[in-house]
Amino acid sequence: MQVISSKDNELIKHIRKLKDKKYRDENNEYIVEGVKLIEEAVKENVKIKKVIICEDTTKTYEIPTNVMLEIAKYDCIYVTEKIFKTITQVTNPQGIMAIVEKETNNMEIDYTQDVIVVLDDVQDPGNLGTILRTIDSIGLTQIIVSKGTADSYNAKVVRSTMGAIFRIKIIEVDNLKETIKKIKKHHFKLMVTSLQTENSIYDIDFNKKIIVIGNEANGVSQEIQEMADEKAKIPMIGKAESLNASIATGVVLYEYVRQKLSK
């Protein structure tokens, strides 16, 4: 078994460069790290290009035998523990990562779904990852993100999706306003959350709706708010005036779930 021990190895340099968004975009690849995420990638038939394993991983990180048997079907590269520490992006690594190809096929919007979630410059990677996980949990299979939204293939985003990133089609658009206009032509109505309304999310019929989640600091941009067919707020009976973007998304989307289950 050949083990890479040099930080100047071309593959090692390539992995380190994949921490950069521009490089990820150029190579159409990103990094998946940890046992759970790699299990999910295998299960979802994601295109895994290489699996990188720390040579002492079975002693140090105790990767389950069934996982080792699965990843043996792929191109596996072993590295020393010292080298693995230079490429990992987590505090407590499990000694295994993979280079995965981004899904770029069929990036057309699916108009058959009841709701379409749109992110308007959501900045925090943790929020983005949690939103993707929430969307996956309610059976939606796509999300539209603005250019100003955090990169969906950032390592923190990928980890916080807990595998949802392999099931959600992420459609990044250059012009959010024009994209929303296009969706509205397919009989969808635009709903934005706003404090400047008396309507509650419980007053909204979540059927054929575009739901826009805004930037953490500034909310939904003014030009998108002006396009809204409906505005609604999340009722709060405490002293807090607003919710974290990912929690707000969960509250809104699970009202959609409640309505769907009650029909």
Q: What is the 3-state secondary structure (H, E, C) of 5-33?
A: CCCCCHHHHHHHHCCCHHHHHHHCEEEEE
- The predicted structure's pLDDT at residue 219: 87
Banded model confidence at residue 69, pLDDT cuts 50, 70, 90? confident
Give me 139's structure tokens: 């059976």
Whole-model pTM: value is 0.90
Sheet holding 29-33, edge to edge: 3-4, 76-79, 48-54, 96-101, 29-33
Q: Is the dihedral of CA 13, 147, 218, 247 positive or negative?
A: negative
Q: What is the mean pLDDT of residues 210-214?
A: 95
- The predicted structure's pLDDT at residue 9: 96
Give percent of the chain above pLDDT 90. Answer: 78
Q: Which residue would you say has higher pLDDT here, 193 or 177?
A: 177
Q: What is the mean pLDDT of residues 124-152?
A: 96
Banded model confidence at residue 236, pLDDT cuts 50, 70, 90? confident
